[in-house]
Amino acid sequence: MRPFSEIYAMACARHGGEGVVQASLPMLRTRRELAESDNALWLATFARQVFCAGFSWKVVEKKWEGFEKAFWGFVPSRVAMMSPDEFEELTLDARIIRHRTKIMSVRDNASFVLDCSKEYGSFGQMVSAWPSERYVDLLILLKKLGSRLGGNTGAYALRREGVDGFILTRDVSRRLVAEGVVTKQPTSKRDLNATQEAFNIWAEESGWGLASLSRILAMSVD
């Protein structure tokens, strides 16, 4: 595994210099801002990413106002109480994308957000307190206890709300393979832990956060 300074130099060489690379780095929220974020925001973000997965995001965005109305403003306590009749009505509701299992995932993720809030005060407080050196465990939590939040869906949702974390895209995974961190795109717990360890080393060396490291890794490949 080469020093991150070399990977950074590769990204700069491929994309026109440091200015271009640094201008492309993700905008993040502070831990305080995350702690103050509302549970409804998180449920809405999870729903948006779930419906975008494997579907045209433009269609989801065009219908988003309808989603907000159909799902009662994404207030978790209300969505979690969705009755069977209300669920059936949503599967026929033209304001949203009528995908039965994804609609059900919104209800299930409402319960997930509420369960996390019981332990941490709110979902945002949980995320804000999560140590970056164990970010992978947060992704595992989303996959295990959330609904349809595995793969990169949960990671994209966290990034959308400004959480400092990595996303294991194809290009990021290619760089990890090239550096000998893993042999294929990380999905197993073993490979995810190896990925976390590599990010921790690069973070300590460079001073960059996980999201910036992730972006630079992606920009370093051909």
pLDDT in tens, 89-98: 999 999 999 9
Residue 222, pLDDT > 90, answer no
pLDDT for the residue numbered 181: 98
Per the prediction, the chain carries an average pLDDT of 97
Which CATH code for domain 32-129?
A: 1.10.340.30
112 vs 146: CA distance, rounded Å: 6
Please state, as a whole number, how many other Cβ atoms lie within 10 Å of the Cβ of residue 35: 17
pLDDT at residue 55, rounded to an integer: 87
**Quick one: what percent of the chain has pLDDT higher than 70?**
100
CA distances from 22 to 17, 18, 27, 124 (A): 9, 6, 11, 27
72 DSSP 8-state letter: G
Q: Which structure tokens are listed for 185?
A: 């795109």
pLDDT-derived band at 24, boundaries 50, 70, 90 = very high
Q: For the whole model, what pTM was predicted?
A: 0.94
Query: In the chain, where are the structural domains located?
Result: 4-28+166-219, 32-129
